[in-house]
Amino acid sequence: MDFRALAERMEAVEATPSRLEMAELLAQTLVRASAEETPPIAYMLLGGLAPEFEGLEVGLAENRVRELIRTRTGASQTQVDERMAEDGDLGLVAEHLWAESEGGQRALDAFGDTEPDPELAVRDVHGRLAEIGRIEGQGSQEKKKRHALRLLDQATPVEARYLVRFLVGQLRLGVADQTLLDGAAIAYAPDEAVDVGDDGMARPPTELRETMERAYNLTSDIGDVLGTAREHGIESLTGVEVTPGMPVRPMLAERGKDADEIFANVGSPALAEYKYDGLRIQAHVTSDGVELFSRRLEDVTDPYPDVVDQLEQALDGTAAVVEGEAVPVDPETGEIQPFQEIAKRRGRKHDLEAAIQEVPIHLYAFDCLWVDGEDLTREPLTERRQRLEAILGEHELVDVSSAEHVRDATELDRFFEDAMADGCEGLMVKKLGDDSHYQAGARGYRWIKYKADYHADLADSLDLVVVGAWHGKGRRAGWYGTLLGAAWDETEDRFKTVCKVGTGFTDEDLEQLDELLDPLTRGEPARQLDVDLEPDVYFEPEVVAEIHGADLTRSPVHTAARDDEGGIALRFPRFVRWRSAKGPRDATTVDEVRSMYYDQPTVDGPGAEG
């Protein structure tokens, strides 16, 4: 497939707000691709070059990409800046300048290179972008720039739009992995299995779609899953199991406000487990070594060599995939320390040994997904926990999480008080029984979070995606003064606004805003954003912040859970901290916002107590 055909398909996808239409466009794209082209196309449609856990990015600085645009088109810096102010997207800047320069000026002669081939193929583009991403070391930015220029020199205007976006790491298509799976299920299912609704839009066959999703959730490699389905059929994915080195997408919990609600969902007895405030880690331990993955599937092995050593000693030769919470502790007393202490390790390259001595990490393992070649995700929780306890040997900094079987509110609250006294956030309450298998990638009421601040009128803080900002005034002039936060609507795959937040920030937090948000700036709302307000700038939905407030109320301007009475907004919001371990689709959902609103004792309606 020519890259131009893929770019034109991306353009059509970018233009539609409909998830159903988007899935059909993706299906049409995948049908045209060969088996060899399918994995790279799958990665590229999601804005990547490889599975997330490989961490492969082009890594070319934006100022270098601007230089490339000027070199390729002959535009001045002023022209690029003016066009950027108008378009708000460097990809559109490139497309417009390419067109205005009537094909642009060839730039390769400056390096004494020969004339390039006139057309770009998808596999060639993917391979060359990946090659740029792997360039490291001294002078790497100049080397990346040279390779990128060779690629851009062959591009048409629409190809330039998406190539530039790949170079700066912001594709802006708004395609989520679940929508891509919808399209793949439509593309690879037998024609007679695809349902077409009254609106003329195709729907993916439920059973085949679930097969693909399970395979993806167990491997986190959407390119491999789609490539296998394309070549061997969707049914060939039914035997996919946990594979060491490929992180399993984590099972997630819902919130619970009281014992009655919790037991109504998980039944009695249930497993109550300490909820530690640490870094969730999935450890893959084999004879080849140890790999650690975060909740966002990032490889975090390097910052935590002590955890690697601790696991190797505790498992003593057993190959396993285990999940646990890495918690910072006081080296003298062993008492749990604030989460920020472990977060400081991320990205730290110097004085790591000193940090290990200053703040040791205690790993509390809570699940076991694979042992010595056996996939345990279909086994009930009791069996998985027994296997976990059996394989973990004694180690002063590795333990199985504290847990008890609880049967009623009295036992739950007693254990809750124990957890709080021991420095935990609260409890995780988990369903037992034959249907308590590990639901990779799913959020549901088989696991329920029960935290201390759920006893207040507002049940817990919200993890919101930063989607816009207003410029600061007075003391905050030159910084962003107020941020716009949004919850994620799982059903529509859109982000819907909940609040404007301008308090709670330290000077250090404010100084971080530019670094975090400037690369995500765009001139118009993200395609998947549902917003009525008009901030000074919009952002790609990427950064997540924990926000607390007094309560939730109806709002005429916010779009979360909107119905005839308006949307739902957070009153008196206050910034708490950045949630770097969470991606945008790990944020608080619109359904959670709606549930929290009706759980307030002052609100009548669904979920109110009277």
Domains plus CATH for the chain? 48-168 (1.10.3260.10), 252-455 (3.30.470.30), 462-599 (2.40.50.140)
Catalytic residue of the set 257, 275, 431, 449: 275
* Residues in CB range of 142: below 8 A, 6 or more apart: none
Please name which of 466, 542, 527, 540 lies closest in space to residue 494, comparing C-alpha atoms.
527
What's the pTM value of the predicted model, to 2 decimals? Answer: 0.84
Give long-range contacts, CB 8 A cutoff, 24+ apart: 52-55. Answer: 52/220, 52/296, 52/297, 52/298, 53/220, 53/246, 53/247, 53/293, 53/297, 53/298, 53/299, 54/299, 55/298, 55/299
Give the model's pLDDT for residue 232. Answer: 96
Tell me, letter by letter, the H, E, C secondary structure of 514-538: HHHHHHHEECCCCCCEECCCCCCEE
Angle 368-370-375 from CA coordinates, rounded to 5°: 120
For tokens 């935590």, the residue is 304
Give the pLDDT confidence score for residue 340 in this predicted structure.
79
Find where tokens 């716009």 sit. Answer: 484
- Select from 97, 192, 212 the least CA-distant residue to 152: 97
Residue type, 460: D
pLDDT at 608: 41
The pLDDT assigned to 112 comes to 46
Q: Tokens standing for 7?
A: 């770019």
Residue 206 and residue 182 in contact, taking contact as beta carbons nearer than 8 Å: no
What would the two tokens of residue 261 be?
Answer: 């609600």
CA-angle at 157, arms to 156 and 158, nearest 5°? 95
Mark whether 349 is an active-site residue: no
Report pLDDT digits (tens) over 118-145. Answer: 589 999 999 999 999 999 989 899 999 9
Q: Would you state the pLDDT for residue 104?
A: 46
Length of the chain as a residue count:
610
Spatial CA neighbour of 323 closest among 271, 257, 259, 252: 252
- Residue 316: strand pairing partners: none
Classify residue 187 by burial, with Cβ atoms within 10 Å: 0-12, 13-18, 19+.
Answer: buried
> Which residues face 428 on adjacent strands?
273, 449
pLDDT score, position 458: 60
User: Rounded to the nearest 5 degrees, what angle is found at the Cα of 247, between the Cα atoms of 242 and 250?
Assistant: 95
Contacts of 272 (CB under 8 A, 6+ apart): 403, 404, 405, 406, 411, 412, 415, 416, 427, 428, 429, 430
pLDDT of residue 348: 66
Q: Averaged in consecutive runs of 10 residues, what is the pLDDT profile of the chain (610 residues)?
A: 96 92 96 96 97 92 93 93 89 94 52 57 96 92 93 94 94 92 96 89 94 98 98 96 97 90 95 94 97 94 94 96 95 84 72 85 97 98 97 94 95 90 91 96 94 59 94 73 93 92 84 87 88 93 92 92 92 89 92 89 60
Interatomic CA distance for residues 236 and 243, integer angstroms: 16
Per-residue model confidence (pLDDT) at position 389: 97
CA-CA distance, 220 to 297, in Å (whole number)?
8
- pLDDT tens digits, one per residue of 524-551: 898 889 999 999 999 999 999 999 988 8
- Residue 481 to residue 472: CA distance in whole angstroms: 4
Write down the pLDDT at residue 79: 93
- d(CA 524, CA 534) in angstroms, rounded, equals 9
Of the chain, the end-to-end C-alpha distance in Å amounts to 61
Q: What are phi and psi of 380, to 5 degrees?
A: -65, 160
- pLDDT for 291 equals 97
